Structures are given as C-alpha cells and as structure tokens.
Amino acid sequence: MIDTLETTSTGVWLQRTLHEDDVLFDVGANVGAYSSLAAAVVGPAGHVYAFEPGSDNLCVLHKRFDTASNVTIVPAAVSDRSGAATLFLDRRDARRHSLASANVGKAGGTSPVQQVCLDDYCDSLTRLDVIKIDAQGAELIIVNGARHAIRRFKPKLILEVWPAGLKNLGACAEQLLADVCALGYDVYRLGSDGALKDKRCISPVLLTTERWKNINVVALPSS
C-alpha cells in the first residue's frame, strides 16, 4: 500500500523521477512512507535502501518491509563518518529525532546509535539513481560523506533545506547548496505541485528567522 504522501510535492516528484529497476537511498526514512512509494515504482528489479536510526521508527519499518525483497532497512544515522553517535529524541514527534539536541521540539532523552557514511556504504554498489535526504539538519554532513558516491553515480538528489536545523549542526543552508553545486549539480526549489522552480526561489528561505521553516530542493546533474 502506498501512503497518501504520494500526493505531497516529494511524493509527486519521486513518482515522476523514479523508473523501474532504479536504486534509491531514502536517508531519514522515518516510518517508510516514501520508501513504500519508491519500492512500488522501482519494482522487484529495483531496490530501496531505507536509512533510519530511531528505534521506534525502525519497529514500523521492520513490520512494513521485512518480507519485501526490494527494500533493505539500514538501522543507522547517516553522517560524514561511520561509527557511534547520539540521537536526540523528540517525545512527541518521531519525525524530529535529530543528531542535534536543539532540533527536537519536545526533548525525549537520547539514544546511542550507529552512523554510516554513504561513501563507505556504496563500496559494493554498482548503481544509485536517486538520493532523498530528510535528516533534521544533518543534510550537509551527509552530502560531505557522500561526495565520492555522488561523483561516481551522479544520482538525482532531493533534500530538505532547513536553515535553523543546519545551523544547529554547525552548518548553513548557503554552504549546503554551494557544496551540492560544486559537485556538478543545478539546484531547484521543489514546488507544492512537484514542479521545479528557479534557484532564485530558494533565496527567501535562506533569510528566514523562523525556527521550523524549511523547503525541499531538487539537485540535478548539470548538462
């Protein structure tokens, strides 16, 4: 079953972008709504890798995908290095678990988790078509840990840009976009209808002082 998230901007874009046999990294899979959508599109010959560190979300993912041959659950946070990490939990909203304490809405303690670098994880892969990143402010460190994989496979990227969340992990939105462009990509703001908007439409959110204000950005290899 595909969730109603198929009608969100990210869901619409994924359905338009993914093809049968594609390989997707769902970084920050949460309970697997987009992983489910993607698995249905890529079919049995494609594959979805669902990266998720939160134990509550992992329970749902296992119930959902343990019998799915084209979904691999990776029980780890994604960062710029592999090893141990601390996940800060939001007791009210599991979508807001984060590697930064300031990025949770209602503090709910901490949990030790493993983290993985995508460059390390990709060593045995021969194909990677799309990377979706929604990781509560960790987007820049994730991209930094995936530079070789991105250069090697040139996947299409869709990532959350949350200025306040990035700042709480020592990063900034401008640097995230600049680093993605330096890897040979053009960036676009994702509209509510799943359409791509000019890069200039990204600028207003970079100036926001709102704590939870974020947008989704699509990055495509430059032609």
pLDDT in tens, 181-208: 999 999 999 999 999 999 899 999 998 8
* 159 close to 139: Cβ distance less than 8 angstroms: yes
Summarised one tens digit per residue, pLDDT across range 51-102 is 999 999 999 999 999 999 999 999 999 999 999 999 999 999 988 999 999 9
CA distance 210 to 181: 25
Q: What percent of the chain has pLDDT over 70?
A: 97
The confidence band for 45, taking pLDDT boundaries of 50, 70 and 90, is very high
Neighbours of 1 (CB within 10 A): 6
Residue 158, φ and ψ in degrees, nearest 5: -135, 125
pLDDT at 86: 97
Residue 2 has pLDDT above 60, yes or no: no
Dihedral over alpha carbons 62, 67, 71, 76 (to 10 degrees): 20
* 126 close to 18: Cβ distance less than 8 angstroms: no
For the whole model, what pTM was predicted? 0.95
What is the spatial order of strands in the sheet that 107-117 belongs to?
77-79, 107-117, 83-90
Nearest to 35 by CA among 1, 77, 85: 1
Q: Which domain holds residue 93?
A: 4-221
Domain count within the chain: 1
Report, as an integer, the average pLDDT of 120-129.
Answer: 95
CA distance 192 to 75: 30
Neighbours of 69 (CB within 10 A): 9
For 9, 162, 181, the CA distances from 14, given in Å and listed in that order, are 9, 20, 21
Nearest to 133 by CA among 115, 146, 120: 146
Residue 216 has pLDDT above 60, yes or no: yes
Mean pLDDT over all residues of the chain? 95
Report, as an integer, the average pLDDT of 163-172.
Answer: 96
Per DSSP, the residues of 5-56 read GGGSHHHHHHHHH--TT-EEEEET-TTSHHHHHHHHHHTTTSEEEEE---HH
Residue 161 has pLDDT above 70, yes or no: yes
* 105 close to 96: Cβ distance less than 8 angstroms: yes
What is the spatial order of strands in the sheet that 156-161 belongs to?
71-74, 47-51, 23-27, 130-133, 156-161, 215-221, 185-190, 196-197
pLDDT at 4: 58
| CATH code at position 16 | 3.40.50.150
Residue 176 has pLDDT above 50, yes or no: yes
Residue 32 has pLDDT above 90, yes or no: yes
